[in-house]
Chain A
């Protein structure tokens, strides 16, 4: 049982480049989330989705886009990366009713 899987685990980008982070969950969860973790800031919600084909903005959505074309996948896109987007990104999922959120292992992104 894989749970929540994020790819890639590490990435270095140059300013202005684009990339997509993939999150996949095999628990048939309705809700999925993207967070970023920065030193001294805890985790902050970027975007989230309550179901296939739906997305919504979180606390820090600027510079990111998301898509949820399939229930099990939630993609986070950076169209033009900036050094301020250097962070560790976590995906999470939970079933409706929210008893426990399951997190991926994280993606460490560095923008130079």
Chain B
């Protein structure tokens, strides 16, 4: 079956530090890959996505590149802010049309200190 493995936190960084959150996956076929973010007390919001190998998703200064050869989709940001504190989920969808939903990693709690 499908699975997503991501580093578990909490990850604590100082403001303006470089961020990497690792994500690797196992899937049949050719999945689409996503990063979702959950701010305290809220639902999940799509942060970025990539639908095929070598695609780079980007949004709000975050980037992730779909690496088929290493089955990875690591999230990076060059300079984090306190407002980036949240839980980040890596996820995949491998079905045609996404009918049977997303497979999530366990989430990484990111804490940015001023």
Contacts and interface: CB of A to CB of B under 8 A. Distances in A.
Given A41-B106, A43-B89, A94 B98 contact: yes
Interface residues of B, number: 22
B99 to A, nearest CB: 5
Contacts of B43: 4, 90, 103-106
B29 interface: no
B46 A48 contact: no
Interface string B100-112: 1110111100000
B26 interface: no
A101 B102 contact: yes
Majority-rule SS of A interface residues? strand
B100 A43 contact: no
Contacts of A90: 43-44
22 contacts: A4-B43, A40-B106, A42-B89, A43-B89, A43-B104, A48-B101, A50-B99, A58-B101, A90-B44, A92-B101, A94-B98, A96-B97, A98-B99, A100-B46, A101-B44, A101-B46, A101-B98, A101-B101, A101-B102, A105-B43, A106-B42, A106-B43
Interface of B: 4, 8, 32, 36, 42-46, 49, 89, 93, 97-102, 104-107
